[in-house]
Amino acid sequence: MYVEWEPLRGLADNEARALLQMGKRRRFARNEVVFHRGDPAETLHVIRSGTFLVQATTPLGDTGVLQILGRGQSFGEVALLSSAPRSATVLALERSETLSLHQRDFDRLRREHRAATDVLLGLIVEDVRRLSDRLIEALYIPAEKRVLRRLADVADFYAKEGEPGEVPLTQEQIASFAGTSRATVNRVLREEERRGTLELHRGTTVVLDAEKLKQRAR
């Protein structure tokens, strides 16, 4: 049941084991929805394998990509603190697996192991930091640089030693994730393709040189 979940690193072995042993393994097919915005919220998901896209609908009816998460990350932590419905829709970008922790089980664990509360607080703090960083970027970082940063972030999930990483995101999804237009994304990616950093295919981007992409994203 072991999973490299960052919040567990500060726990004693017995506490980490107790937390993970409560989880139930869930498997998802490519493009399968884990839950929709507005659904009842009762579980936290820890990602064992694969990647997940977190999105929400804007007041104008557009779909905004909020996060893309991979192995060792988690989503749905607010469900462990509140009975409020889901605030976003989450779907699997590829065949994926999670460890699902139910609210009632986590509440029981918190009563038995105080460190479980620290895990939950760590998740919330990390979310706040991530949102703060994205806000600063949106205000002060050019759109072209944001596109490169978001692509570099996601490319890490698909990187394989000695092989190109194929990112299964459309240009519309990359644009939404970076907070810019599809035209800007297409222009930036075409330029990177000319530089030899990546290749463009229908519905995917193959990153050929992740290190060079990260350098240009800084």
Q: Look at residue 194 in the predicted model and tell me its pLDDT.
A: 96
At 143 the three-state DSSP class reads: helix
Domain 142-217 has CATH 1.10.10.10: yes
Q: What is the pTM of this model?
A: 0.87
Q: Look at residue 162 in the predicted model and tell me its pLDDT.
A: 65
Range list for CATH 2.60.120.10 in the chain: 6-138
List for the chain the helix, strand, coil content (%; round to 5).
45, 25, 30
Range list for CATH 1.10.10.10 in the chain: 142-217
Q: Look at residue 80 in the predicted model and tell me its pLDDT.
A: 80
CATH superfamily to which 6-138 belongs: Jelly Rolls (2.60.120.10)
Sheet holding 204-207, edge to edge: 165-167, 204-207, 198-201
Work out the widest C-alpha separation in the chain, in whole angstroms. 57
Q: Look at residue 1 in the predicted model and tell me its pLDDT.
A: 45
Tens of pLDDT along the chain (218 residues)?
445 676 666 667 777 777 778 889 999 999 999 999 999 999 989 899 999 999 998 777 778 899 999 988 889 988 888 878 999 999 999 999 999 988 888 787 777 777 777 777 888 888 888 889 988 998 999 999 999 999 999 998 888 766 778 999 999 999 999 999 999 999 999 999 999 999 999 989 999 998 999 998 88
| Ramachandran bin of 70, using left for φ above 0, alpha for ψ from -120 to 50, beta for the remaining angles | beta
